[in-house]
Amino acid sequence: MQEIATFAAGCFWGVEETFLRTPGVIKTEVGYSGGSAKDPTYEMVCTGTTGHAEAVQVTFDPEKVSYEALLKIFFENHDPTTRNRQGPDIGDQYRSVIFYHTPAQQTAAQKFTADLERSGKFKRPIVTQIVASSNFYPAEDYHQQYLRKRGLGSCHL
């Protein structure tokens, strides 16, 4: 059995690499989600006018890794308190978003985020959006597993 989770947490190269290293993750694909333009390209998304976020679609085996474990990884590997920015990357395409695929994922994401907010781990409010998954457009081939293709283990995340 497989499930799909989709996350946006800044530049998709580092986010993808983080999930690729996770036991139970079957595959990842970087792309664009949450916008209005049909079949966007990287160049279009970079203009900040399409509404898309750079996202990673994660196919996982829920018997080996839970959705909650993926949420934990998501929040541990970016700053969910900065709106439209991660590190040096600025723009709404770099916003923090959980794109849920099922009502169970929506509930889990809302609970996890609320619990994290109450924990006081962050000094500022969490601004991560939790929205229904919409069209996911795979990014160009050269973006897929970009860091691995270049022998890199991470980027600025």
CB 46 within 8 A of CB 5: no
Bridge-partner residues for 8, per DSSP?
Answer: 97
Give the Cα separation of 90 and 40 in Å (integer): 19
**How many other C-beta atoms are found inside a 10 Å radius of the C-beta of residue 42?**
16
Beta strand ranges found along 1-157 (DSSP E): 3-9, 25-33, 53-60, 85-86, 89-90, 96-100, 129-132, 136-138
For the question of residue 155 being annotated catalytic, the response is: no
Which one of 5, 9, 11, 56 is the catalytic residue? 11
| Catalytic residue numbers, as ranges | 11
